[in-house]
Amino acid sequence: ITGDIGGYVAMRIKELGSSYLIPAGTTTLGGESLRALVLDWLREDRSLEGLGRVFSGDDFWLKSLMYLFHFGGIGLGLLGMILARRNWQIMTVLAGFILYTTLVHSVLIAIPRYIFPTQMAFWMLASVPLAMLWGWLRRRSSRV
């Protein structure tokens, strides 16, 4: 480590980033990697036939749903952190857990299943914008 500190730090950041980008559970499904299929299609074969191969990949729909919930939770959770900043007593606990887990796994090994508990905190924070949207829709429909 002392011989190449920059390489070690880069490796830790790459490992942590890839752990956040791969939903836990998609690797245990086996078969072709959805990520690899999509990247191959984008890099080499942007035809409808190539896109058909992506859609016919192993467990495509299940893996796609897992990716949708994973990135939806993270995105809405980050938005929830911003929207819930005035209610800092609640937001700080959840954001603190996410930050703590991220910091611990920036030093220790980081794989998707170790990062998965943060997904629960992200979804709790994601309820903030979803509840605000629901309230807005109810107010809007009651005016009609």
Predicted confidence (pLDDT) per residue in 19-31, tens digit? 888 887 776 777 7
Residue with tokens 């956040």: 20
**Could you tell me which of 121, 114, 124, 129 has the C-alpha nearest to residue 98?**
121
Q: What is the pLDDT of residues 25-57, one digit of tens each?
A: 776 777 787 888 888 888 987 888 888 888 888
- Among 28-32, 39-43, 107-111, 118-122, name the most confident range: 118-122
Three-state DSSP class for 2? coil
Single-letter code of the amino acid located at 103: L
